Structure 1
């Protein structure tokens, strides 16, 4: 591998995912950040927005340069397509989009670019030979990692899923439900059975199911807003006649060469994954009822961390580079 560093550009650097991406890439051993784009903050130090980066000399820029190897799009949903239309990006530049613009197969081809769905535990080989990546959604990542082994084994039946997410999942723009006074000591269900991540989840589960099995039944998903800032905890319930021992072996085998997904025999909890790129999974079974618990950090494995993981795969470097992170356990 060449010793030349990967030249990176970030579009939308003032938001939560742009900030997390900057924090990761500043310390990445194989990366040099060429620019962090933000029209509203151009000319200001990045630390004026992301104040924990005080001391770093990075500046926001209003200019876009093609003198990069990879471009991260950290924009709002629907804005990535608009950016690609309005800006001429050299064909040799790899693009990693963190929004939902290109995740579904029907939207994966755009402006002579073909986007591969960037869940490494599902599409690692495709990612390694890709030019453009559609980074998965945070709820989608957590639910899929909990269910993919069952789908591959042909064991996935109708699933009832509940998940709770922190306030950063709503993005940096203020809304009534993201204010501290609303979130504190509060929980609310939202987008019941209609969450926008369900279609990408169903595409992945149907992609990996045995070819001679019928289409997997729709997912019944109820998301909750939680009283904390970051992280997602999912519980998915379905009927299954396999023993817990058999199922744990199935999951261990499926994820044995994936460095960020881990199976636990003990109860999992959110603090194990917050501030890491990990997903932890635990299986519980009572009678014929199986419950799969899965947890991630929505801003890392659910967004910017997974984007860096995808970049590592695109450029043939160690998949875990720049992602050896410490959990905020206490």
Structure 2
């Protein structure tokens, strides 16, 4: 097949840098343009220095829609909706939005929630995808098998720690090195914005679910990765739980259920999600881990593009973890 011609909107951030790293080497993709008004005329490798020697592409302020088959929106939250309202993007162009703007289902838009483990068949037919959030992805892969059998019958308790790249490329008082190094802190306890999409997905599989999802997000002193620990009351034995999770993810390209307590290093720099289970009295304890910039953002976006264009999900995403 001819190569997929893509454009990238908002090309200067961490997710855009990861996206370009994947797309430059994707065998079925040609990058036509990378739009960034603040960097127009600059070489991409001057901003994303990890691409030195890999591409001679230059940022542009132009929007040549007529030359592309797909658009990735990597703008800040709130800006994707503004972009769509300000630009008449032709309907034949497939769109993958990496912001929060279209993740909530609404009659006002036709974006499909892009978690392949949940909506693979819908993604294949979609023209517009709302890419999931990073915490949301890691937490959903931990919970959705239970929801699929109506087994979330009690409160869910979650603690999850994320790398500093999750805060974006612009430094803030809680993301610069001298504060973040050798430090952890809690933020948005019980009120993180990803709870909305997590609840939406859980209720898609278990419509009557109304119990609290108690989520404590933690800022970690590392650059990338998310490590989730969760527990809830569950009547299944550990063997039954493993059978359920293995069955739910048997056709998954990137989510793997393991029987040894995992490390976050196993997933950093990959598009993998790893899930591990333990049983403690009447509680099922679940660990999940992802790379927040890949399975939690840009890698999953490319996985969605592959599905939308009929490619193997793994195309361009055979990445090895950096841990070993």
- Aligned equivalent of 1:247, options 237, 241, 244: 241
- Aligned equivalent of 1:181, options 159, 178, 183: 178
**2:118 counterpart of 1:119:** no
- Work out the number of aligned pairs and report it: 321
> After TM superposition, which residue ranges in structure 1, 4 or more long, deviate above 4 angstroms?
none
TM-score, normalising length from structure 1?
A: 0.96
Shift of 1:174: 1.1
CA distance in 2, matches of 1:230, 1:92: 35
Secondary structure of 1:178's counterpart equals coil
Structure 2 contact 7–33 (Cα < 8 Å) conserved: yes
CA distance in 1, matches of 2:314, 2:128: 20
Shift of 1:177: 0.7
Shift of 1:216: 3.4
CA distance in 2, matches of 1:300, 1:308: 9
**2:194 counterpart of 1:159:** no
Cα deviation, 1:223-255, whole Å, max 9, x if unaligned, reads 000010000000111111111011001000000
CA distance in 2, matches of 1:240, 1:89: 47
Instruction: Note the 1:62-77 alignment, pairs <5 A.
Output: 62-66=61-65, 67-77=67-77
**2:47 counterpart of 1:49:** yes
CA distance in 2, matches of 1:52, 1:141: 26
Secondary structure of 2:99's counterpart equals coil
TM-score, normalising length from structure 2?
A: 0.98
What CA RMSD, in Å, does the superposition of the two structures yield over aligned residues? 0.9
Instruction: Note the 1:240-319 alignment, pairs <5 A.
Output: 240-319=234-313
CA distance in 1, matches of 2:32, 2:212: 43
Partner residue, 1:238: 232
Cα deviation, 1:114-146, whole Å, max 9, x if unaligned, reads 100000000000000001000000000000000
Structure 1 residues without counterparts, runs of 5 or longer: none
Shift of 1:215: 2.6
CA distance in 1, matches of 2:272, 2:314: 11
**2:108 counterpart of 1:109:** yes
Partner residue, 2:223: 229
**2:126 counterpart of 1:130:** yes
Structure 2 residues without counterparts, runs of 5 or longer: none
Structure 1 contact 102–109 (Cα < 8 Å) conserved: no
CA distance in 1, matches of 2:166, 2:210: 27
Shift of 1:194: 0.3
Secondary structure of 1:125's counterpart equals helix
**2:204 counterpart of 1:207:** yes
